[in-house]
Amino acid sequence: MEIYIESLLNGLLMGSIYGLTAVGLTVIFGVLKVINFAHGSILMVGMFVAYWCVTLTGMNPYLAIPIVVPLMFYFGYFMQQIVIEPVFKAEKDVREPITVIIVTTGVWYILDNLALMFFGAEYRVAHTSVTGKLFELPGGIYLLQPKVYGFVITFACALFLFWFLKNTVMGKAIRATSLDRDAASLMGVNQYRIYRTAFGIGTAACGLAGCVLIPFYYVYPSVGLVFDIRAFIIVVLGGLGSIPGAIIGGIIIGVIEEVGAMFMPSTWTELVIYGLFLLLLFVKPAGLFGSKQDF
Amino acid sequence: MKIVKTMLIPVVALTMIAGSFGVAQAATKTVKIGNIIPLSGPSASVGIQGKNAREMAVQEINDAGGIKSMGGAKLEMLYADSKSDPTAGVSAAEQMINSDKVALLTGCWNSAVTYPTTQVAERYGVPFVVPVSVRDTITERGFKYTFRVAAKDSWWTRDQFAFLKDMAKETGTKIKTVAFVYENGDWGTGFAAGWKKLAKAAGYKVVLDEPYPSTASDLTPVVLKIKRAKPDVLFLTSNASDAILLTNTIANMKVHVKAIIGSGGGHADPAFLTAVGKNAEGIFDIGEWETDLNKPGVDEANAKYNKLYGYNLSGEAVDAYSSMYLIKAALETAGSTDPVKLRQALADTKLCSGPGSIFAYKCIDFDKDGQNKQAALVVVQIHNDNGTMKRFTVWPKEGRHAGYTPTFPMAQ
């Protein structure tokens, strides 16, 4: 019995972290209406920044958050400004600019290969102060400390973003732009600045996910692929553009993966996940929390 | 004047060519050996290791006076780049046999290249020595001219079980249950099929048979299943990323088994040990060869190779190196390059000692299909040696790292 509780708890923890890896994707989609194919690579960059920050200074991975998150925010902010914005402007009359999707694919390849050039293909594991530490619950249930911290950080991040979008001027401007970019422009919102900020928030979320993953995961240049497809499914499952949707979607996938594997070979859990995904697309194409209003 | 000049060049050139033929005939005879190996493309690094090992062996053989029964004939190496491409391998074999008139061929590392290329050699009746290529069927076609030095693919699982049996006997440990956890590709499922047969034959109860996708982001569910199944011994077939995840998760979840036995691949990747550190303590892994093998000549050969090329000998390199000494021994017996005599000499040769016998098993000794029937693998244990994780050879017992006592069952 304990083993099933252990797997359920693990599913909750790991699922929330999957949700965190998908937050960036959902924020960027919600505002820019662009599927960011470079998402996995940005997550990889976030992981590498966190990895080097922790390995070179030997600091606690969670104390690195105030360094990694702003760094990643500006990385995204300027990438949007320099790489994506010119293409965006050329296609400004279209609601879903296709060329931008192709540009993000280019960014994916460039980032992956730059990482390969600078860091090599080997797997790196950060040996931090929380790595391998456990919380022991009664009944011989072990929970990995970094996953528990990751769970807490995920919810803190979701609550903060929710508050930020509801209550700040910038948050309101972001929501206005995501509802109707032209109307927002007419009200005096600089839509390109909003796009940069939204992209920055998306990459910053990847940086946060990097800090959460580093204490128990490995990094290498194509690590993004491991989380990438899962993040897409989570985002569609939860509803494109919805932050609570991403977290709940992540938890659903995490629980199916962990608990499902107790009853069937673990290769089959993917079948269940993709099956559920297709079913949901038939029944509720907007996703669990998706609506016409993206936030 | 101009005509004289233009005439002069071909005349001089012709004289030089004729002259060079004369020199070649006057010098000692050479035996041409054609080598078809991947020197570019995806398997280039392993191909170049094999080329270096061949060069080192041939240099030693020629310096020691060549083939004595043939009046001190020298070995001459010709190389063709297979690019890991079967078509390139086949045409290189055709060319080497017909134009270069090689006495025998070696290669090709990639099983997919070796398979059709040995077929060409068989058709022409030219002996073909295969140092490494693991596909079982290469020596299961009743060919007369194909000789394989390395172990077959299916012998890896055979030796994992042989090791387990020997180790249990040596330490008086009872093994009743086994668990199989493997990546769900060709490699993992192939190994698992072998394990199932062997476990049945050995009378072990299989308590878990779990394939997993090697792109999995989290292997906690797999580890929880191992925890629930409580096997005595855990067999793994993992690539690098999943080997890291499994090892760390098994250590974190405090799952204890008597032995964990890897299958090379991810467990043999140098990045694996640095990534998992102390969590790898006590894990067993199987491989073709190890530098700490306790056998005469191993240290010297490895030191020389490292000095020449800047890295250690690998299993592939050792098989290529030993193959050259095998060819030398066969040529000494045959006393000529006549293919029928040479084939017979290769079939009769039993290379057990002397230079070149740095392989992990006892002898190179071919069965009627041309498979080295004594070929076997080595098992290592990963152990913390003053702060660095190292691989210590533990099996076969005669090759065990001098002074090392394996921890079996693994420390709890």
State if pTM tops 0.90: no
A160: exposed, middle or buried (C-beta count within 10 Å: 0-12, 13-18, 19+)?
exposed
Report pLDDT for A20: 95
Q: Nearest C-alpha of chain B: how many angstroms from A220? A: 9
Name which of A9, A218, A232, A264 to mutate to probe chain B: the one with the most chain B Cβ atoms within 10 A of its Cβ: A218
Distance CA B259, CA B188 (A): 19
Q: Which residue of B has its CA nearest to A263?
A: B225
- Chain B, residues 238-267, CB within 8 A of chain A, namely 240-241, 244-245, 248, 251-254
Nearest by CB to A144, which of B217, B225, B252? Answer: B252
Report pLDDT for B215: 78
Report pLDDT for A228: 87
Residues in chain A within 8 Å Cβ distance of B254:
134, 142
pLDDT digits (tens, 9 = 90+) for A142-176: 899 999 999 999 999 999 999 999 999 999 999 99
Report pLDDT for B354: 86
> Residue B172, Cβ neighbours under 10 Å: how many?
6
For all residues of chain A together, what is the average pLDDT? 90
Q: Which residue of B has its CA nearest to A219?
A: B241
Element (H, E) at A90: helix A85-90
Across the interface, do B240 and A142 touch by the CB < 8 Å criterion? no
Report pLDDT for A291: 63
Across the interface, do B221 and A123 touch by the CB < 8 Å criterion? no
Q: Nearest C-alpha of chain A: how many angstroms from B267? A: 13
Q: Nearest C-alpha of chain B: how many angstroms from A134? A: 7
Region A78-99: mean pLDDT is: 84
Report pLDDT for B269: 83
Residues in chain A within 8 Å Cβ distance of B276:
125
Across the interface, do A267 and B211 touch by the CB < 8 Å criterion? yes
How would DSSP label each residue in B47-86?
HHHHHHHHHHHHHHHHHTTSBGGGTSBEEEEEEEE-TT-H
Residue A92 has pLDDT above 90, yes or no: no
Across the interface, do A6 and B252 touch by the CB < 8 Å criterion? no
Report pLDDT for A294: 45
Across the interface, do A7 and B220 touch by the CB < 8 Å criterion? yes
Across the interface, do A262 and B218 touch by the CB < 8 Å criterion? no
Report pLDDT for B11: 52
Phi, psi values for residue B389, rounded to 5°: -80, 130
Nearest by CB to A267, which of B213, B241, B276? Answer: B213
Q: Nearest C-alpha of chain B: how many angstroms from A62? A: 20
Region A3-30: mean pLDDT is: 93
Q: Nearest C-alpha of chain B: how many angstroms from A97? A: 31
Instruction: Tell me if chain A has a CB within 8 Å of the CB of B206.
Output: no
CA distance between the termini of chain B: 93
Q: CA angle B14-B19-B22, nearest 5°?
A: 135
Residues in chain B within 8 Å Cβ distance of A134:
252, 254
Across the interface, do A226 and B245 touch by the CB < 8 Å criterion? no
Q: Which residue of B has its CA nearest to A224?
A: B217
Q: Which residue of B has its CA nearest to A144?
A: B252
pLDDT digits (tens, 9 = 90+) for A37-46: 999 999 999 9
Across the interface, do A267 and B275 touch by the CB < 8 Å criterion? no
Distance of CA A43 to the CA centre of its chain: 7
Cβ atoms A107, A38 nearer than 8 A: yes
Report pLDDT for B24: 44
Report pLDDT for A295: 41
Report pLDDT for B241: 87
Low-confidence ranges of chain B (pLDDT < 70): 1-28, 412
User: Cα separations (Å) of B42 from B17, B168, B272, B285?
Assistant: 39, 40, 21, 25
Residues in chain A within 8 Å Cβ distance of B246:
none
CA distance between the termini of chain A: 40
Q: Which residue of B has its CA nearest to A122?
A: B271
Q: Which of A122-131, A244-253, B122-131, B332-341 has the lowest mean pLDDT?
A: A122-131
Q: Nearest C-alpha of chain B: how many angstroms from A4? A: 9
Distance CA B17, CA B22 (A): 9
Q: Give residue B38's identity as a one-letter amino acid code.
A: P
Distance CA B388, CA A263 (A): 39
Across the interface, do A258 and B220 touch by the CB < 8 Å criterion? yes
pLDDT digits (tens, 9 = 90+) for A10-21: 999 999 999 999
- Which of the pair, B26 or A93, is modelled with greater confidence? A93
